[in-house]
Amino acid sequence: MNFIAMDFETANRHPESACSLALVMVRNNQIVDRFYTVINPQMPFDARNIQIHDITAEDVKDAPTMAEVWPKIKALYQPGMLVTAHNARFDTNVMRQSLARYDIPEPHYFVIDTLQTSKLFEPQLPNHKLDTVSKALNVELWHHHNALSDSEACAGILIAQNEKYGDEALKGLVYQI
């Protein structure tokens, strides 16, 4: 299976406040590359968000904006590319809103949400949070709410589910942005 696992962290409750992004590229069910950056959201940080991901305004003061990050990753978001995230509604909305803030058109790609696949394939779990699913599937999550760690775990979850249930079981859960 070929896909990109994506995870954003935000500075505050506004989806256009991306302060970090990680992408993990998977080819033939193997992680082949990673991309991570902090992002200057050019807006205030909320204490609650800092508590979750430990990224502060000081950490991103010299970081690129989303408008500056986009040219580096744009080629990955070709029509037909499959992107996964755990709670993809959140991450795709952060992508959409962060790009719209700079008048950058949203790319079109396919999405599969490992939160949804986990609810379907692992219904016995007490919840379907990333850390719970990772542990149940023996997928490493080395620092929850670090975008790179979360992206790698998400990739590992989808790889494990693909290997266990196959492409056909996953196809019905894919939707297009």
pTM for the model stands at: 0.96
Query: What pLDDT, on the 0 to 100 scale, is given for residue 150?
Result: 98
Full domain range(s) for residue 86: 3-176
- Quick: pLDDT tens for 83-118: 999 999 999 999 999 999 999 999 999 999 999 999
Number of H helices, E strands in the chain: 8, 6
Domain CATH for 62:
3.30.420.10
Query: What pLDDT, on the 0 to 100 scale, is given for residue 79?
Result: 87
Query: What pLDDT, on the 0 to 100 scale, is given for residue 102?
Result: 97
Q: Hey, how many other C-beta atoms are within 10 angstroms of the C-beta on 131?
A: 15
Task: Calculate the CA dihedral of residues 41, 46, 6, 133 and round it to 10 degrees.
Answer: 180
Q: How many domains does the chain have?
A: 1
Task: Kindly list the averaged pLDDT for each block of 10 residues, start to end, along the chain of length 177.
Answer: 98 98 98 98 97 98 98 94 98 98 96 98 98 98 96 98 96 94
